[in-house]
């Protein structure tokens, strides 16, 4: 019996940083369209990634932004 599988493309970046965000959003949009995904979850500390997702992704996509816990950087501080 031959196993079922799907080949998907992947991008590897030479380093971290906000310079990768546009390219990531292009891939997110492409894959979401292929799979009819409407809900997109993004991680953000300042809201900038969520804003870029809203600008780059199709208007039909629903973007939810999450951040880490209050107090991660310093006590009682919320970055978002």
The pTM for the full model equals: 0.78
Q: Which tokens go with 40?
A: 């997109």
Count of other CB atoms within 10 angstroms of residue 50: 20
Q: Write out the chain's pLDDT in tens, 80 residues.
A: 778 988 888 899 999 999 999 999 999 999 999 999 999 999 998 899 999 999 999 999 999 999 888 888 889 988 87
């Amino acid at each position: 019996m031959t196993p079922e599988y799907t080949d998907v493309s992947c991008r590897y970046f030479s380093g971290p940083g906000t310079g990768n965000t546009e390219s990531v959003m292009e891939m997110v949009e492409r894959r979401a369209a292929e799979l009819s995904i409407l809900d997109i979850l993004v991680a953000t500390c300042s809201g900038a990634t969520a804003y870029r997702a809203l600008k780059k992704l199709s208007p039909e996509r629903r973007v939810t932004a999450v951040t880490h816990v209050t107090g991660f950087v310093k006590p009682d501080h919320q970055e978002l």
